[in-house]
Structure 1
């Protein structure tokens, strides 16, 4: 069952534009001890992404109440919140779509993340590249076919996560995580103005680094930039941060950045 516009339902109409066109956005939050971790970050992201897509954002207070209503029923879990443009319009036109649809659900916690945090993971280079689209870059919209293809390739290799490039061959992110690396005293992360998802944990980490006056640079770099890195980490709202131990033949053993960020991201 899903909490859809405040009512428990099992389905949405086939006319919903999220189903028809991927016309909407979503966020995935961590539930811990009956609370939504970094709830304000997720609410802000939904508001921001709705604005980017021209969808009237649900009232922040209503959405926050519904998120917490679901979270308080669980000690731990994954809360997914989707906002679609609703039903209406003809073809691609959004005209007449006056009632956005909010869809909330809870699922389990990915069991592998705890082991990954302890042991670190290996990244493999994905053959699937992200299309450059400045109009949608950063938005966690409902069109995620590129990620589906990336995950399908990972499952064929039985690999945990992928290093994902854009169509120009530049670093963007992982299949379901953002990417950071440290070279000496500077932290780098891909610039997301052309492709990728601006994750809530990425924003939190950037704020933590800024508060600590740790130099950070958002860059457009090829994967060769990671060869000279001292350390690589990946993050999302559920992980929340994981060290990378290997990319190709390059091994990483330093955890200075990870050790600094881990307690700040819980």
Structure 2
């Protein structure tokens, strides 16, 4: 179902800037036992994105209430929230947009995540690279054509997820997940100051690792660094953490990092 500006409907004005320019942001939350996991973090993510995109959205209490209400009655599911600048004018200027649009929807929880957590996944290097833009790096804006192309190429392979580099050849993320790799007690994750999405589960994992026996480091690294790792895991707010068993000809059997993170991410369902 869709809830647009508080009303049950599934149509949006063609003039809305989400459709005209991808002018907005979104977040995707896990529903578990009728609750939105990491609700406060998802609200903060949207607030940060709106601030960076200069979208004057203010109805945060209403949005949070709608998110909570939509989750009730669902044992599991996916809650997606989109905020666009709204409608106004033909050109790029958003000066006449006074009423941002909020769009909420609920869909089924991906059944394959349980198998992924059990068996691990395979990665394949994507031929599509992410453009570097520090003004947009980190946020989950609505311009997702890069991910659409990454996914289209991924679907032509046998791999489960894509290993995505930026235009300079640095590891950035997967198609729909962040990643970590471990070498000994050192855990590495890509810097996201030039490209990529700083996911909620990535942030949570880094917080947990900061208080562990592991040392977490954000790096600019090439594919070779990943292939030399002892272990690789990927994460997002839905999975929430999944081990990687292979990337190309390189395979991994260790799950030391995964076994540390997985129970923490599952137990902390809401903040």
TM-score normalized by structure 1? 0.98
Residue 186 of structure 1 and its aligned partner are, at CA, apart by: 0.8
Using the alignment, how far apart are the partners of 1:233 and 1:89 within structure 2? Answer: 45
Query: Are the equivalent residues in 1 in contact too, given 2:185–2:213 (CA < 8 A)?
Result: no
Partner of 1:167: 167
CA distance in 1, matches of 2:10, 2:176: 26
Residue 141 of structure 1 pairs with residue 141 of structure 2: yes
Question: Offset of 1:213 from its aligned partner?
Answer: 5.7
Q: Mind listing any 5+ residue stretches in structure 1 that lack a counterpart?
A: none
| In 1, Cα distance between equivalents of 2:122 and 2:264 | 23
- Superposition pairs for residues 157-236 of structure 1, below 5 Å? 157-212=157-212, 214-236=214-236
Matched, 1:116 2:116: yes
Q: Which runs of 4+ in 1 moved over 4 A?
A: none
- For normalisation by structure 2, the TM-score amounts to 0.96
After superposition, give the CA deviation of every residue in 1:13-51 in whole Å (9 maximum; x if it has no partner). Answer: 000001100000000000000000111111110000110
Q: Is the Cα–Cα contact under 8 Å of residues 169 and 222 in structure 1 kept in the other structure?
A: yes
Shift of the alpha carbon at 1:7?
1.2
Q: For each residue in 1:187-241, what CA deviation from the matched residue of structure 2 results, as whole angstroms up to 9, or x when unmatched?
A: 1000000000011101111111113263111000101001221110000011100
The aligned residue for residue 7 of structure 1 is 7
CA distance in 2, matches of 1:213, 1:259: 13
Verify the 8 A CA contact 2:33 2:73 in the aligned structure 1: no
Question: Are the equivalent residues in 2 in contact too, given 1:138–1:195 (CA < 8 A)?
Answer: yes
Q: Deviations over 1:102-136 (max 9, x none)?
A: 00000011111100100001100000000011110
Tell me the distance in 2 between the aligned counterparts of 1:81 and 1:58. 15
Listed as ranges, the gaps of 5+ residues in structure 2 are: 267-271
Instruction: Please give the secondary structure, in 1, of the residue aligned with 2:155.
Output: helix
Corresponding pairs, count? 266
1:61 aligns to what? Answer: 61
Contact kept, 8 Å, 1:26 with 1:46, in 2: the verdict is yes
